Amino acid sequence: MTVQFYSTLLEIPPQLKAQALREYRKYPRPQEGWQYLLNYLVAKTVVNWLREELGGKPSISDTPTWQFVNGVKISLEGINLVVLPDESIDRASLVIPREWVEHPDWVGDYFFAATVDIDREMVELWGFCDYSAIKQATIDYQDQNYILDRSKLSCDLNLWLSYRQFNIPLAPKVVNSVPQLASTRVNNLTDRLALTSIISPRLAIPFSDWLSLLHERRALERLGLLRQGQRVKSVTNLRDWWAGIFSSEWQEPALSYGYALRGEEEKITRLRQMMFTTEGETVQLYILVSLTKKSQQEVGVLFQLLAPPDQRLPILEVAIRDAEGNTVITTATQGNESLLKLRSFSCTSGDQFSLVLQYKNETITEEFTI
């Protein structure tokens, strides 16, 4: 470090702040909302800056832990930047959650300290270091953080920009692999962490378990929704259906609904009852899933929503999302139909997706894997 303080000031555009506050309000727990807000503002502001400054296509990695862990990862041409929101005014040290150093999928090549000043609508990048500097950090096992003294940081972002220009090689990273957890353990941990009494999930279980849980994107998303007070069902494995294994809630249409289907060998259809209870009213409907074997690997999936006999479907927003959380199909009911047929799509073994139904302010998410 030099005795220089050339921080880089970035403006938070008003529309970005407004969007961030809308996201913030989705979190009933203030700690999670605040953490998400800081991560969101930093990620978007820094990506915009990188795009302007360097061109290229910087991208923000995974978001399902933004409300739990401080920091966001931005990838730029194969380099991982971990930007860490910081509220301190003394700027005495950079606090790096252990996840960003010890998890192979998370580890950063560079770590940036970013003061977020929501009042003044500014993000200030005031220091950075590369992976090799972490060796000089101390570890706080109480809060599971690496603490790097300010004197070990470079305080001039121009240096970082010049590293790129003069092709300064990246410091090599040595990160141990993090074992995967059995699916029952993943479900148990997720259910445990969803408890309202837990303030910080990352500190509530052994840290090695938490690191392993970070492999499980679906589980983290489920945890996020559970902690937001949303109802989330466990994952339905559609592959089991070909082996004749069905969990009790998935019924044969003919039995539970009187909905007779033409028998086909290469097709399976099951139906499940759903219920929204919102603002004191209860609304019922059925989800009908039809699987068609297209080839050894490929399966066609068709979702239909059915109203109870002689009733209409409520006004719903319906979406199918892929494993990355991208919406692949979206539609809505008008309130006058008794059946809504979604566009069918093809999946191959290992694919994951979810069906998201929103009625008024209540959301139901159904997870599937094939």
Partner 1 sequence: MVVRHDIVSKFCSYACFAEGKFQRWVLKARLKAEFEKLLAQSEEKLGEVFWSLYWFKRWQERQERIAQAHLEAYLQEPCYWAAKTFLTHVEGSNYSLADCFQMAAMETVKVLQHFQPAVGQHLAKYAQYSFANLLRETFRCQGEVDICTDWALLRKISEKTLRAALSQHSTVTIESLVLCWKTFKQVYVPKPGNTRKLETPDAETLGSLVQIYNSRILTASLSLSRLRDGSTALLWLQKCATAVRQYLHPAVTSLNIPLTEEGGELQDQLPDPQQTEDLTEVLIQLEAYQEREWQKQELKNCLTTTIANLPQESQQILAGYYQHHWTQKQLSEKLQLSQPTINRRLQKARQTLLQSLVTWLQQTMNITPSADILKSSADLLEEWLDQYYGATL
Residues found near partner 1 in the complex (CB under 8 A): 1-11, 21, 24, 30-31, 33-34, 37, 87-93, 95, 117-119, 122, 130, 140, 142-143, 147, 149, 151, 154, 156-159, 161-163, 165-166, 168, 199-200
Q: Least distance in Å: CB of 174 to partner 1?
A: 19
Strands 317-322 and 327-332: antiparallel
Tokens read off for 49: 């800056």
3-state secondary structure of 239: helix
CB closer to partner 1, 1 vs 315:
1
DSSP 18: H
Q: Least distance in Å: CB of 145 to partner 1?
A: 9
CB closer to partner 1, 3 vs 243:
3
Neighbours of 100 (CB within 10 A): 23
CB closer to partner 1, 19 vs 251:
19
Q: Least distance in Å: CB of 144 to partner 1?
A: 12
CB closer to partner 1, 143 vs 264:
143
CB closer to partner 1, 91 vs 231:
91
Q: Least distance in Å: CB of 64 to partner 1?
A: 20
CB closer to partner 1, 165 vs 248:
165
Q: Least distance in Å: CB of 49 to partner 1?
A: 9
Q: Least distance in Å: CB of 127 to partner 1?
A: 12
Tokens read off for 35: 């953490």
